Structure 1
């Protein structure tokens, strides 16, 4: 039971909004993908502002609408990949332990890791259920690349072009189990941040707003990341199953590395230029994420943010 009729209306409205955003991807317009990526946002708002039960009810409503408007398989995909991670992560954000007058909230670093692991596990489950056969998909993907690259009037046989693009297709297929959890983790975290901002503006966010640049990785996460990295070098299927965990934890360390950069540049004159350069490189060259990942990994050892706080005052 929800606490009030207003909470019930919010849950129903959030579920409907989430279903519409999820279904917008079939439109094929320029805004279709951004709207689809925000389909977890209404669920987050309902869960953070009106409780986990409201988030669950909103998810059920959205799943029913998707099933009625699209297919049962689409609804199952929505509930597993969109609603479930959003509700669990929102619930963790609202968890607190009270000792006398002191309230200890569930650490945001652990929320971040839990969100990433959920996405990794989902990727492994989906790969196990639907099967993942790179060699079987290779000719189709190479042929697609060949068709896309073929210039008008080009008389080169498509089979020749397909063979030329096989190495690119093979690399793409190998990277998919890594890239998908990275993207899904970042999208979920973005929805959590936006949802918390919206709820905070309405004064319904129970948890005090925290300095996100101070978020730290839980202890021993580096060991788990090292195991995931080593696992990707093992023969399949272990290598394939390790890929999603490597990708998801890479997203965690990328975000933590960015938090460190935001923290240590605070108050510095060239801060806007530094941040614009960092995010521009991440957008244009995804492999540039190696820099924030390395910073995130080294932060527990060198304590960059503590050095900044204990150092001389920053220029204003």
Structure 2
């Protein structure tokens, strides 16, 4: 790796840190920028190599830790953005030669690229362990957090809202955080990886061919029993229940993404496809309940998918 690549990694990490700063400093006008913080690191990894991606992740950690004078603040971006982005950029660039004799006139051997189902499963694991590590760092405790959330809601509520209702709402908000946070992180990583790959492909630096996402998106079958186990752990109570909630939230989001991809694939070539997709997404935004249907569809698609070894390898 030359000096130019190192510089690119350092600058990518700095860009990611600046985007993430709104979340760390809790600046309401800049929080939305934190959602695209993985993009610079992913672009560096996909376009300039895995090592550059990890340099960018470490650079982001150092920038946030140095600017805020807190190692914990640096770890927050490293665990939730930097490390997952660098790992995803690395595995998305993995390929092996096709186990077949080379044809005459081929300039390069055909390659089998790391399949999308495994990349999505890696997102689930990275998001889950990242959230668990973050919870351990901040000492997440629902019993202690609920009163703080209740106080924050009380300051925003009108005088006509009974304190008991505010307290119940606060307990509900705290109870769903272990499900929502990893699910949202999986969604963020998936969208940022797609956008980053499109940007790098446009520049001509992405060796991986364009994936047919609706046709190849999926999860390995092992995700089904893991989801069932995670849901079962949610009913045990205590720390074990929190761990189960984290994995259930991440896997639930991944299954939902698979279900949405199946809708795109199954509607290809049908009349009124645009209206169908528009209606589905509007219903999701307004009601949220349709997400359960797509989660179930994603589980069905996973159950009937081929074995992991045959999962939609992308060949070039």
| TM-score normalised by structure 1 residue count | 0.86
The structure 1 segments of at least 4 consecutive aligned residues displaced by more than 3 Å after TM superposition are: 24-27, 99-102, 300-303
Distance 1:302 1:241 in 2: 28
Aligned equivalent of 1:107: 115
Distance 2:230 2:281 in 1: 26
Distance 1:130 1:301 in 2: 37
Of 278, 284, 299 in structure 2, the residue corresponding to residue 282 of structure 1 is 284
Distance 2:289 2:83 in 1: 30
Displacement of 1:186 in angstroms is 0.5
Displacement of 1:166 in angstroms is 1.8
Distance 1:270 1:182 in 2: 31
Aligned equivalent of 1:311: none
Displacement of 1:204 in angstroms is 0.9
Q: In the alignment, is the contact (CA less than 8 A) between 1:112 and 1:252 conserved in 2? A: yes
Q: In the alignment, is the contact (CA less than 8 A) between 1:142 and 1:163 conserved in 2? A: no
Q: In the alignment, is the contact (CA less than 8 A) between 1:143 and 1:162 conserved in 2? A: no
Aligned equivalent of 1:203: 204
Q: In the alignment, is the contact (CA less than 8 A) between 1:48 and 1:90 conserved in 2? A: yes
Aligned equivalent of 1:229: 231
Displacement of 1:105 in angstroms is 1.2
Distance 1:11 1:302, change over 3 A: closer
**What SS does the corresponding residue of 2:111 show, helix, strand or coil?**
strand
Q: RCO (CA 8 Å, sep 6+): is it higher in 1 or 2?
A: 2
Aligned equivalent of 2:150: 142
Aligned equivalent of 2:188: 187
**What SS does the corresponding residue of 1:210 show, helix, strand or coil?**
coil
Distance 2:133 2:188 in 1: 19
Aligned equivalent of 1:295: 297
Of 9, 14, 17 in structure 1, the residue corresponding to residue 15 of structure 2 is 17
Displacement of 1:301 in angstroms is 4.7
Distance 1:95 1:188 in 2: 18
Q: In the alignment, is the contact (CA less than 8 A) between 2:13 and 2:58 conserved in 1? A: yes
Structure 2, unpaired ranges of 5+: 101-108, 306-316
Number of residues of Structure 1 aligned to a counterpart in Structure 2: 293
**What SS does the corresponding residue of 1:165 show, helix, strand or coil?**
helix
| TM-score normalised by structure 2 residue count | 0.86
